[in-house]
Amino acid sequence: MTKQKTNDQNTLDRRNFLKRATVVSGLVSAPLLSSPLLAQNYSNRKTCKTMELADDFIYLNSGTEGSMPDCVIDDFNNNLKRWASNPTASYETDRHFRKHQHYHREKIARLFSVEKDNICLTDNTTMGMYMVLMGLNFKSTDSIIYTNQEHTAITSPLAMHKEKTGLKLLQRDFPTASKLNRMTSHEVVEYLLPNTKELRGATALCVSHVYPSTGIRLPLKLLRKKADQLSIKYLIVDGAQAFGMIDLSEGDDDIKLSDFYACPGHKWLNGPPGTGILFLKNKSIKPPEFYPTLSQRMEKYSSKNSDFPMAEALQVRGCSNVPGFTSMLTAIDYQNNIGGSKAVEKHIIDLAQTVKEFIYSHSPLSLVSPRLDKSLASGLTVFFPFSWENPNKIFTDKNTANIVVKALLEKNIQIRAIGFNDEVSPNKKIYGLRVSTAIFNNAQQIKQFQQIIKEVLSTLS
Ligand SMILES: Cc1ncc(COP(=O)(O)O)c(C=O)c1O
* Same domain for 232 and 173: yes
The confidence score (pLDDT) of residue 421 equals 87
Give yes or no for residue 150 CB within 6 A of ligand 1.
no
Diameter over CA atoms, the chain: 71
User: Within this chain, do residues 122 and 263 fall inside the same structural domain, yes or no?
Assistant: yes
Residue-level pLDDT at 6:
40
For the stretch 133-180, pLDDT in tens is: 999 999 999 999 999 999 999 999 999 999 999 999 999 999 998 888
SS3 sequence, the chain?
A: CHHHHHHHHHHHHHHHHHHHHHHHHCCCCCCCCCCHHHHHHHHHCCCCCCCCCCCCCEECCCCCCCCCCHHHHHHHHHHHHHHHHCHHHHHHCCCCCCHHHHHHHHHHHHHCCCCHHHEEEECCHHHHHHHHHHHECCCCCCEEEEECCCCHHHHHHHHHHHHHHCCEEEEECCCCHHHHCCCCHHHHHHHHCCCCCCCCCCCEEEEECECCCCCCECCHHHHHHHHHHCCCCEEEEECCCCECCECCCCHHHCHHHCCEEEEECCCCCCCCCCCEEEEECCCCCCCCCECCCCCCCHHHHCCCCCCCCHHHHHHCCCCCCHHHHHHHHHHHHHHHHCCHHHHHHHHHHHHHHHHHHHHHHHCHHHECCCCCCHHHCCCEEEECCECCCCCCCECCCHHHHHHHHHHHHHCCEECEEEEEEECCEEEEEEEEEEEECCCCCCHHHHHHHHHHHHHHHCCCC
Residue 397 CB coordination number (10 Å): 15
Task: Indicate if ligand 1 lies below 6 Å from the C-beta of 439.
Answer: no
CA 166-132-233 angle, 5° bins: 70
pLDDT the model gives residue 28:
31
220 neighbors 247 (Cβ within 8 angstroms): no
Model confidence at 46, pLDDT cuts 50, 70, 90, reads low
Would you say residue 34 lies in a domain?
yes
Average pLDDT of the residues in 211-216: 97
Q: What is the model's pLDDT at position 174?
A: 94
Question: What tens digit of pLDDT does each residue of 401-455 get?
Answer: 999 999 999 999 999 999 998 877 778 899 999 999 999 999 999 999 999 999 9
CA 171 – ligand 1 centroid, Å: 19
Question: Residue 346: which residues within 8 A CB-CB, separation 6 or more?
Answer: 34, 35, 38
How sure is the predictor about 271, in pLDDT bands with cuts at 50, 70 and 90? Answer: very high
Report how far ligand 1's centroid is from the alpha carbon of 94 (Å).
Answer: 32
Q: What domain count does the chain have?
A: 2
Mutate to test the pocket of ligand 1, among 149, 151, 217 (most ligand atoms within 8 A of CB): 151
25 pLDDT above the threshold of 90: no
| Pairing label, strands 234-238, 260-264 | parallel
Rounding to the nearest 10 degrees, give the CA dihedral for residues 144, 145, 149, 155: 0
The CA–CA distances, whole Å, from 409 to 14, 148, 403, 413 equal 12, 30, 10, 5
- For ligand 1, say whether the CB of 153 is within 6 Å of any of its atoms: yes
CATH number at residue 412: 3.90.1150.10
pLDDT attached to residue 15: 44
C-alpha atoms less than 13 angstroms from C-alpha of 350 in its C-beta half-sphere: 15
Residues 274 and 364 in one domain: no
Nearest to 157 by CA among 134, 125, 186: 134
Quick one: pLDDT at residue 281? 98
CA of 157 to the centre of ligand 1 (A): 14
Compute, in angstroms, the gap from residue 126 CA to the centroid of ligand 1.
6
pLDDT at residue 372 tops 80: yes
227 alpha-carbon distance from chain centroid = 22
- Strand-pair category, 416-422 with 425-436: antiparallel
* Average confidence (pLDDT) over 362-374: 94
The response to whether residue 90 sits with its C-beta less than 6 Å from ligand 1 reads: no
Residues 428 and 407 in one domain: yes
CA 263 to ligand 1: nearest atom: 10
Provide the percentage of residues in the chain whose pLDDT is more than 70: 90
Give me the half-sphere count of Cα atoms (radius 13 Å) on the Cβ side of residue 84.
6
Question: Do 245 and 99 share a domain, yes or no?
Answer: yes
Q: Tell whether the model's pLDDT for residue 29 goes beyond 60.
A: no
For residue 67, being part of any structural domain is answered with no
| Residue 51: predicted pLDDT | 80
pLDDT at 237 over 50: yes
Check residues 272 and 48 and name the one with the higher pLDDT.
272
Q: Is there an atom of ligand 1 within 6 Å of 240 CB? A: yes
- Judge whether residue 22 has pLDDT over 70: no
> Which pLDDT belongs to residue 423?
77
Rounded to 5°, the CA angle 423-425-426 comes to: 70
Q: Is residue 73 part of a domain?
A: no
**Pocket lining: 339 vs ligand 1, CB cutoff 6 Å:** no
* 100, 197: one domain: yes
Residues 352, 224 share a domain: no
Total count of residues recorded for the chain:
461
Are 356 and 330 members of one domain? Answer: no
Average pLDDT over residues 264-282: 98
461 or 301: which leads in pLDDT = 301
- Condensed to tens digits (0 to 9), the pLDDT of residues 71-128 reads 999 999 999 999 999 999 999 999 888 888 999 999 999 999 999 999 999 999 999 9
Domain check: are 130 and 30 in the same one? no
Is there a single domain that holds both residue 359 and residue 425?
yes
Residue 290 near residue 310, CB atoms below 8 Å: yes
Contact 220, 255 (CB under 8 A): yes
The reported pLDDT for the residue numbered 47 is 62
Looking at the structure, tell me whether residues 100 and 48 fall in a common domain.
no
| Average pLDDT of the segment spanning 198-220 | 98
Asked if 364 and 393 count as a contact pair (C-beta separation under 8 A), the reply is no
Pocket flag, ligand 1, residue 264 (CB < 6 Å): yes
Share of the chain above pLDDT 90, in %: 83
Same domain, 158 and 299: yes
Given a cut of 70, whether residue 23 has pLDDT beyond it is no
pLDDT of residue 131: 98
Question: For residue 153, what pLDDT is reported?
Answer: 98
The CATH number that applies at residue 130 is 3.40.640.10
- The residue range of the domain holding 172 is 78-336
Q: Is the pLDDT of residue 457 over 50?
A: yes
Whole-angstrom Cα distance, residue 132 to residue 115? 18
Mean pLDDT of the chain: 90
| Per-residue model confidence (pLDDT) at position 38 | 54
Pick from 51, 65, 115: nearest CA to 281: 115
Name, in order, each residue with C-beta under 8 angstroms of 321's C-beta and a sequence gap of 6 or more. 123, 272, 274, 275
